[in-house]
Structure 1
Amino acid sequence: MHFQHADDIWRDFPELSAGALFIDGVRSDVSVEGEIRRLQAIANERLGTGSESELPEMKPTQYRSASEALLRRFRKEGSLPAIHPLIDLCNAASLAFAIPIAVFDLERVTDFLLVRRALGNETYLTFSGEVESPEPGEVIFADGEGRAHARRWTNRQSGHSAIRPQTTRALIVAEALHETARDDVERLTIVLSEAIAVAWGDRPSMAVLDRSSPRFDFTV
């Protein structure tokens, strides 16, 4: 299986940097509380200097960033609800780095994930169970069956491939477009890799992608 961005995405967004991790052996009976507290402390410190919209990672785009929404909720409520250890860890990392992160259950993905512009005939399942069709030209994560597993970059993930208690294999993707995106995405990917290795006992495969190295291959 592989993950990559289409050539025209790199052409139109040369500042894009993406980090990807493949983890095999996911379980829901592990604890990541210590790392979550550490990452949330970083987020609290950063939010202490201003609002989430003022962070340099919050480069204005057509769509509101998922990480900005997480930061706003965290600032107002002081915590995020526990969902699954892998999701909770990635949400905490998204808070600390102000970079959106998507996590996909690979058992629900066919053949590959390609970040490309939608044709308009793809299917997207919301978390409430409704089926939508992305708008033509919208940036989506599509698999071999034409199913959109995320819309508007990583900002609207599909309920179809959401992490579940029975998930065993997952792909984690972080994307950023701000000035220091390459360095920040690389640091974020390393932080997640180390935390996953501690919690699940196995270091994931990982890659930082750019236009010269746009594809991440992994064995499922």
Structure 2
Amino acid sequence: MRFQHSPAIWNDFPALVPAALYAEGITPEVSVADRVPAYAARAAARLATASESDLPEIQAWRRAFSRMGLKPTQYRCASESLLRRFRKEGALPSLHLLVDLCNAISIAYAVPIAVFDVSRIARYLEVRHATGDETYLTFSGETEHPAPGEVIFADAEGRAHARRWTNRQSGLSAVRDSTSNVLIVAEALHASAPADMDSLVATLTTELNALWPVTPKSAVLTAAEPAFDFAGD
């Protein structure tokens, strides 16, 4: 299997720094309760002196959303939405232990992180512009069709696993207790993204190693080396 961004995405967003990790053997018999607070505290410290919209990581995504023709205050990248909720409520809801961990790391770095159940992805996952023929399954079970030109995560069967780039994932490939093999994708556009993404990948790798007997495969991608090849179901 392969994860990549299309040449058009790289052309439109040359500052993009994506990272991808693949791990097998994820099980629900662990707890992340003692690992999440440190990342939440890091996010809280940043929000104590600035709102999420002032953070350079979020500002970069707002500019990207504007370039895509989306109103940034209507459609937010996932990390901004999480930070906004965290600032208002002081905590994030528990969804799935791996998602909870990745959400905590996401707000600590202010970078969108998506987690996909690889068994629900057909052959590859590419961030590209929609043709208008793709299908997107909402978490409530409804089927939508992204508009032509919208940036989506698409597989070989024309299924969109995320809409509006980093705005919202699909219910189709959301992780659940039966999920074993996962693809984790983080993307950034801000000035210090190259160094920050190296750190984020190291953090994710350390956490996965600590929780499960897994050795994730990972890569920080570039326009020159845009593809991440990994084994799959």
TM-superposed CA distance for 1:34, in Å, is 2.4
Partner amino acid for 1:46?
A: R
Gaps of 5+ in 2: 67-74
TM-superposed CA distance for 1:86, in Å, is 0.6
Report SS of the residue matched to 1:53: helix
Partner amino acid for 1:81?
A: P
1:116 equivalent among 128, 131, 134: 128
The number of aligned residues is 220
Query: Any residues of structure 2 matched to 1:56-95 within 5 Å, and which?
Result: 56-58=56-58, 59=60, 60=62, 61-62=65-66, 63-95=75-107
Query: Any residues of structure 2 matched to 1:91-110 within 5 Å, and which?
Result: 91-110=103-122
Paired with 2:152 and 2:54, the residues of 1 have a C-alpha distance of: 26
Q: Which residue in 2 is equivalent to 1:16? A: 16
2:154 equivalent among 131, 142, 147: 142
Paired with 1:150 and 1:185, the residues of 2 have a C-alpha distance of: 21
Partner amino acid for 2:138?
A: T
Paired with 2:23 and 2:36, the residues of 1 have a C-alpha distance of: 18
Partner amino acid for 1:71?
A: L
TM-score, reference length from structure 2:
0.92
Q: Which residue in 2 is equivalent to 1:48? A: 48
Contact 1:110-1:143 at 8 Å conserved across structures: yes
TM-superposed CA distance for 1:75, in Å, is 1.0
Report SS of the residue matched to 1:34: coil
Partner amino acid for 1:77?
A: E
Paired with 2:167 and 2:160, the residues of 1 have a C-alpha distance of: 12
Partner amino acid for 1:29?
A: E
Contact 1:194-1:203 at 8 Å conserved across structures: no
Paired with 1:219 and 1:68, the residues of 2 have a C-alpha distance of: 31
User: Over the residues paired in the alignment, what is the CA RMSD in angstroms?
Assistant: 0.9
TM-superposed CA distance for 1:183, in Å, is 1.5
Query: Hey, which bits of structure 1, 4+ residues long, moved more than 4 A?
Result: none
Paired with 2:53 and 2:7, the residues of 1 have a C-alpha distance of: 30
Contact 1:18-1:175 at 8 Å conserved across structures: yes
Report SS of the residue matched to 1:33: coil
Paired with 2:195 and 2:138, the residues of 1 have a C-alpha distance of: 33
Partner amino acid for 2:24?
A: D
Partner amino acid for 1:19?
A: A
TM-superposed CA distance for 1:154, in Å, is 2.3
The reply to whether residue 179 of structure 1 matches residue 191 of structure 2 is yes
Partner amino acid for 2:16?
A: L
Q: Which residue in 2 is equivalent to 1:31? A: 31
Paired with 2:140 and 2:100, the residues of 1 have a C-alpha distance of: 20
1:161-205 Cα distance to aligned partner (Å, 9 max, x none): 000110000100011111112211221111011101100121211
TM-score, reference length from structure 1:
0.97
Task: Indicate the percent of aligned positions where both proteins have the same amino acid.
Answer: 56
Paired with 2:149 and 2:53, the residues of 1 have a C-alpha distance of: 26
Partner amino acid for 1:74?
A: F
1:75-109 Cα distance to aligned partner (Å, 9 max, x none): 11111111111100100011100011111101100
